[in-house]
Amino acid sequence: MKMLRVALTGFHHESNTFAPVPASLDRFLAAGTFESDELVRVYGESQATLGGFLEIRSLPNLEVVPLNHADLNPMGTITQEAFEVLVGRMIEQLKENGPWDVVLLALHGAAVAEHQPDADGEIIERVRRLVGDDVVVGVALDMHANVSERMIRNSTVINAYLTNPHIDPRPRARQVAELSIATARGEIQPVIAHVSPPVAINILRQGTSDWPMSHLISLANEMEHQHGVLSVSVIEGFPYADVPELGMSFIVITDHDQDLANHLAQSLAAAAWDLRNDFLGDGTDIDIALQRAMNSPRGPVVLLDVGDNVGGGSPADSTHVLAAAQRLKVRNLFHSLCDPGCVADCHKAGVGVNIALNVGAKTDQLHGKPVKISGTILHLDDGRFEDTGITHGGFRFFNAGPRALVHTDDDHFILLTSRPMGNTSRAELTSVGLDPLSLKVIVAKGVHSPRGAFEPIAAEMIQLNTPGCTSADLSTLSYKLRRRPMFPFEPEATFSL
Ligand SMILES: [Zn+2]
């Protein structure tokens, strides 16, 4: 069997074009861009996409070469500098270390750079241009990708996760890697169909265990077992990136049978279109949810701050829920806020000291006003913690930047972080000495991403109708570039195959 040379590289960002904080080069570098051995150390055992790519090192007759990978948590649009430096590095490394039989790319699919709205399409095209048409380019995407025709055209194999919260990036990436290798060995001839009906699905309806997503996922799973079908992806799309390719889409890959691929992708798209009214969503009012939590016989009730969904690019400093909790005198509540200035004040003061602070809402008005708190500093650290259990996206190592936990006089546990954190791990709480089970209310800044961690212990999880740049109410966002007409923005939109 011929020895194959396989490159692993990636650039991972979900860009919320409505979010106030740009994805700049310094933020990418601070978050961690990893190369070669370090990439293996960080991702090898993880459940993330690169973990799935790295699994193929155990297969015979492959030389697997990890190159660079950049990953930054979701926030605003990527700066031109960040994109050009990091993608430039990727292309340079591919050039210097080639030639290749296979290039495996870990992308998100909803990356938007200020000069390249279809940033993922641009990356795949640059890779394709470099390696030529004979090299296999395998791409693994997040389920929130907004997939362009350019992404499809330049990929040999491309798929996305099938779970939200995302607990399958590793096996899905392994599928891309295995199909790519089989293609390079001439064992299969993948052909791709991609159909994107004009539908943006509400973030509240994106859970894959719940109707209507559960239905589409089960159709996809059945199709993937059909003879000749290599891979089926149901892609939810990312409604907070204002780009022409915004929307749901379906990718089917078959072994040299374009008609079958087209037929299956079209039938998934038609099924989604028929369900479009079931993809509308609407959250619970903050006060009603807090009252329900206070009256709950047991805790913790987890309140999902949808408008400040850090996994969707929000700044993690919204105070709408905290202000209401103060007003309603809710006790025994956990709430995190990104506020590096207040963290610095706490670190100066020290553990055990009583402190008064104005916390949160420092990035813009949309996410509320700073809230006055006073209380005792319980814990200070550098914000690094590890979660070896199941987490959204398969992440294991977390870095919140320097942190401070303040127990306020009105019995709130306020965890101040220096980086935006989306509350996707129970270890975030245990690492500062809090037992999640002893809390009455946990405010989690996310929609689906906190579920993997908190659903097993929550008395109830409530999605809130909170304002913010990830609001469930898409009518509050002003789009310029998306397709028109599109459901639900233009309810009269039509779709025909
Ligand atoms: Zn996602």
Could you read off the pLDDT of 401-420 as tens digits, one per residue?
999 999 999 999 999 999 99
Q: What is the mean pLDDT of residues 56-70?
A: 96
For residue 162, report the distance from its CA to the centre of ligand 1, in Å: 10
For residue 179, report the distance from its CA to the centre of ligand 1, in Å: 23
Classify residue 30 as exposed, middle or buried by CB count within 10 Å of its CB (0-12, 13-18, 19+): middle
For residue 280, report the distance from its CA to the centre of ligand 1, in Å: 19
Cis peptide before 165 (omega within 30 of 0): yes
For residue 422, report the distance from its CA to the centre of ligand 1, in Å: 13
SS3 at position 109: coil
For residue 497, report the distance from its CA to the centre of ligand 1, in Å: 27
For residue 74, report the distance from its CA to the centre of ligand 1, in Å: 10
Q: What is the predicted pLDDT for the residue at 393?
A: 67
As given in the structure block, the two tokens for residue 121 are: 């399409």
Single-letter amino acid code for the residue at 306:
V
Is 80 among the domain residues?
A: yes
Q: What is the mean pLDDT of residues 109-121?
A: 98
For residue 357, report the distance from its CA to the centre of ligand 1, in Å: 34
For residue 328, report the distance from its CA to the centre of ligand 1, in Å: 34
Q: What is the predicted pLDDT for the residue at 31?
A: 86
Q: What is the predicted pLDDT for the residue at 282?
A: 83
For residue 331, report the distance from its CA to the centre of ligand 1, in Å: 33
Residue range 355-405, pLDDT digits in tens: 999 999 998 888 999 999 999 999 999 999 999 887 776 778 899 999 999
Residues 170 and 295 in one domain: no
Is 496 among the domain residues?
A: no
Greatest C-alpha distance within the chain: 70
Residues 11 and 137 in one domain: yes
Q: What is the predicted pLDDT for the residue at 473?
A: 87
Is 484 among the domain residues?
A: no
DSSP 225-273: TSTTEEEEEEE---TTS-STT-S-EEEEEEES-HHHHHHHHHHHHHHHH
Q: Which domain holds residue 51?
A: 4-279
Q: Among the three residues 258, 279, 300, which one is the final residue of a domain in this structure?
A: 279
For residue 452, report the distance from its CA to the centre of ligand 1, in Å: 13
Q: What is the mean pLDDT of residues 47-56?
A: 94
Residue range 289-345, pLDDT digits in tens: 999 999 999 999 999 999 999 988 899 999 999 999 999 999 999 999 999 999 999
Q: What is the predicted pLDDT for the residue at 295?
A: 96
Number of independent structural domains in the chain: 2
For residue 46, report the distance from its CA to the centre of ligand 1, in Å: 17
Is 114 among the domain residues?
A: yes
Q: Calculate the average pLDDT of the chain.
A: 95
For residue 248, report the distance from its CA to the centre of ligand 1, in Å: 13
Residues 231 and 324 in one domain: no
For residue 362, report the distance from its CA to the centre of ligand 1, in Å: 26
Residues 17 and 141 in one domain: yes
Residues 25 and 66 in one domain: yes
Is 431 among the domain residues?
A: yes
Q: Among the three residues 255, 279, 303, which one is the final residue of a domain in this structure?
A: 279
For residue 379, report the distance from its CA to the centre of ligand 1, in Å: 32
For residue 164, report the distance from its CA to the centre of ligand 1, in Å: 7
Is 483 among the domain residues?
A: no
For residue 297, report the distance from its CA to the centre of ligand 1, in Å: 33
Residues 369 and 249 in one domain: no
For residue 97, report the distance from its CA to the centre of ligand 1, in Å: 31
For residue 397, report the distance from its CA to the centre of ligand 1, in Å: 18
For residue 417, report the distance from its CA to the centre of ligand 1, in Å: 22
For residue 84, report the distance from its CA to the centre of ligand 1, in Å: 23
Residue range 237-272, pLDDT digits in tens: 999 999 999 999 999 999 999 999 999 999 999 999
For residue 144, report the distance from its CA to the centre of ligand 1, in Å: 4
Residues 290 and 263 in one domain: no
Contact 16, 313 (CB under 8 A): yes
Q: Which CATH number do you get for residue 176?
A: 3.40.50.2300
Q: 425, 436, 405: which is closest to 339 by C-alpha?
A: 405
For residue 110, report the distance from its CA to the centre of ligand 1, in Å: 9
For residue 448, report the distance from its CA to the centre of ligand 1, in Å: 9
54 pLDDT higher than 70: yes
Q: Among the three residues 226, 247, 279, which one is the final residue of a domain in this structure?
A: 279
For residue 137, report the distance from its CA to the centre of ligand 1, in Å: 22
For residue 143, report the distance from its CA to the centre of ligand 1, in Å: 5
SS3 at position 210: coil
For residue 451, report the distance from its CA to the centre of ligand 1, in Å: 13
Residues 73 and 128 in one domain: yes
Q: What is the predicted pLDDT for the residue at 226?
A: 97
Residues 89 and 147 in one domain: yes
Residue 157 makes CB contacts below 8 A (sequence gap 6+) with: 136, 137, 138, 139, 176, 179, 180, 183, 190, 192, 230, 231, 253
For residue 4, report the distance from its CA to the centre of ligand 1, in Å: 31
Residue range 217-238, pLDDT digits in tens: 999 999 999 999 999 999 999 9
For residue 203, report the distance from its CA to the centre of ligand 1, in Å: 11
Distance from C-alpha of 142 to C-alpha of 158, rounded to nearest angstrom? 11
For residue 166, report the distance from its CA to the centre of ligand 1, in Å: 7
For residue 191, report the distance from its CA to the centre of ligand 1, in Å: 25
Contact 211, 275 (CB under 8 A): no
125 pLDDT higher than 90: yes
Of all residues in the chain, the percent with pLDDT exceeding 90 is 88
For residue 142, report the distance from its CA to the centre of ligand 1, in Å: 5
Q: What is the predicted pLDDT for the residue at 123?
A: 98
Residues 214 and 294 in one domain: no
For residue 329, report the distance from its CA to the centre of ligand 1, in Å: 35
Sign of the four-CA dihedral 372, 374, 379, 380: positive
For residue 341, report the distance from its CA to the centre of ligand 1, in Å: 29
Q: 338, 334, 308: which is closest to 442 by C-alpha?
A: 334
CB burial of 238-253 (b: ≥16 within 10 Å; e: otherwise) equals bbbbbbebbbbbbbbb
What is the residue whose two structure tokens read 């993880």? 46
Residues 300 and 249 in one domain: no
For residue 244, report the distance from its CA to the centre of ligand 1, in Å: 19
For residue 165, report the distance from its CA to the centre of ligand 1, in Å: 8
Is 181 among the domain residues?
A: yes
Residues 270 and 300 in one domain: no
As given in the structure block, the two tokens for residue 66 are: 């990890």
Is 97 among the domain residues?
A: yes
For residue 63, report the distance from its CA to the centre of ligand 1, in Å: 30
Distance from C-alpha of 192 to C-alpha of 157, rounded to nearest angstrom? 8
For residue 159, report the distance from its CA to the centre of ligand 1, in Å: 13
Contact 442, 368 (CB under 8 A): no
